[in-house]
Amino acid sequence: MKSDRLLSILLLLQTRGRVPAHELATRLEVSVRTIYRDVEALSASGVPVYAERGRHGGIELLAGFRTDVTGLTADESRALFILAAQGAHAALGLDAALGSALRKVMAALPAPHRPAAEATSRRVLVDSTRWKGGPQRAADLDVLQDAVFADRRLRLRYRHSGAAAPSTYTVDPYGLVCKAGVWYLVADRSGTPRLFRADRVRSATPLADPVRRRPGVELADAWEVLRRQVEDRPGGIEVTVRVRRDFLDMFTRLTASALTALPEDDGEGEWVTARLEYGAVPHARSLLVFADRIEVVTPPEVREELAGAAASVTELYQSDGRAGA
């Protein structure tokens, strides 16, 4: 709608100052000609806005002009209060600040939208942590956050999974990402994007040197590359299993990260077939936790791996005496 677009232009100009017409057109997905017509409409309605043409020109509000209109719709109001439930701000030390900001937004909301916004904060809860994720080392985000916002390079002492000792790297941070309750530092190392789990950072030292990011690359761009590298990583070994029907729901929840497709339940018989993927044969040992509720059908090497592990456990518990006795 034109009214929404005019308000968007007004708020962008208040936030950004002078903005080129082509940038406004790109952000609002209209033509430059439409932007100039909208500027004329704003001016006619009493908003002190003007345009300067030329290489360094743009559209700008008269210095000192502000408006306190929020222009929030009912859905936009709900979205803000769902944001308050996500919890990531608490890890960044912004819990109190967000609460204060939302109270100010609530005061500025049109009266008809306030009940819906208040109800959202009571009726929608977003918990980003995994079920039974186990204890995790607390991530110290203070130094990482300071370096990200100060645009400084970082020297990290970082312990990789399974490594005996930390390694030292000099990196150029783009920002922090919270993925399923786990914080990551997205940074370039020697010009190549890298992902560092914040809870594996043993120490982080900001350097005097300014950050050296690749031109035109933003946090979202670097994260997309890294996310695809993880998700598109070549698969390992495919495992076909039979699952007892009465255990299917629990099995699906507990193996969600390894399932290659949801099991097709035709509602008949005692067993349902499912397929999973593991990085290597030994990784499939995690299936032993399901005991006789599942059976590996293929491949043979996984059946042998599980049979050998089960035999070792049986021998351990059938042996006379206790270990160390």
SS (H, E, C) 86-113: CCHHHHCCCHHHHHHHHHHHHHHCCHHH
Q: ∠ at Cα 186 (182, 191), nearest 5°? A: 155
Domain CATH code at residue 185: 2.30.30
- Asked if 27 and 103 sit in the same domain, the reply is no
Q: Is residue 109 part of a domain?
A: yes
Domain count of the fold of the chain? 4
Q: Which among 200, 230, 260 is the end of a domain?
A: 230
- Position 279 in a domain: yes
CATH number for position 280: 3.30.70
Q: Where are the alpha helices (DSSP H) in the chain?
A: 2-16, 21-28, 32-44, 74-83, 88-91, 95-108, 114-123, 142-150, 219-231, 248-254, 300-318
Which pLDDT belongs to residue 179? 83
Amino acid at 170: T
The residue segments making up the domain with residue 95 are: 74-123
According to the model, what pLDDT value does residue 71 have? 59
Report the pLDDT value the prediction gives residue 249, as an integer from 0 to 100: 86
Range 68-77, long-range pairs (CB < 8 A, 24+ positions)? 68/108, 69/7, 70/105, 70/108, 70/109, 70/110, 71/4, 71/7, 71/11, 72/105, 72/109, 72/110, 72/113, 73/113, 74/112, 74/113, 74/116, 77/105, 77/109, 77/113, 77/114, 77/116, 77/117, 77/120
Q: Tell me if the pTM is above 0.75.
A: no
Asked whether residue 184 falls in the same domain as residue 246, the answer is no
Q: Are residues 162 and 223 in the same domain?
A: yes
pLDDT, residue 65, reads 74
pLDDT at res. 266 = 64
- Does residue 208 sit in the same domain as residue 243? no
Establish if 324 belongs to a structural domain. Answer: no
**Per-residue pLDDT in tens (0 to 9) along the chain, 325 residues:** 576 788 788 878 877 788 898 888 888 889 988 998 988 888 888 888 888 877 777 898 888 776 655 556 666 666 666 665 555 666 666 666 666 666 666 766 666 777 777 777 677 666 666 665 555 566 678 888 888 888 999 999 998 877 788 999 999 999 998 887 788 999 999 999 999 998 889 989 999 999 999 999 999 999 999 988 887 766 678 899 999 988 888 888 888 878 887 777 666 778 889 898 888 888 889 899 898 899 999 999 999 999 999 999 888 888 765 555 4
Domain assignment present for 265: yes
Does a structural domain hold residue 280? yes
Alpha helices in 17-73 (DSSP H): 21-28, 32-44
CATH of the domain at 31: 1.10.10.10
Q: Are residues 168 and 222 in the same domain?
A: yes
- Domain co-membership, 290 together with 246: yes
Neighbouring-strand partners of residue 50: 60
Domain end marker among 195, 230, 265:
230
pLDDT of residue 153: 94
HSE-CB at 140 with a 13 A cutoff on CA atoms is: 11
Q: What is the pLDDT of residue 259?
A: 85
- Would you state the pLDDT for residue 132? 57
One domain, residues 300 and 262: yes
Residues 40 and 89 in one domain: no
292, β-bridge pairs: none
Would residue 131 count as lying in a domain?
no
Q: At which of 61, 90, 110 does a domain end? A: 61
- Domain membership flag for residue 7: yes
Tokens representing 169? 């790297």
pLDDT of residue 78: 66
Does 135 map to a domain? no
Structure token pair of residue 283: 């990784």
Whether residues 248 and 223 fall in one domain:
no
Residue 199: closest CA among 229, 217, 176: 176
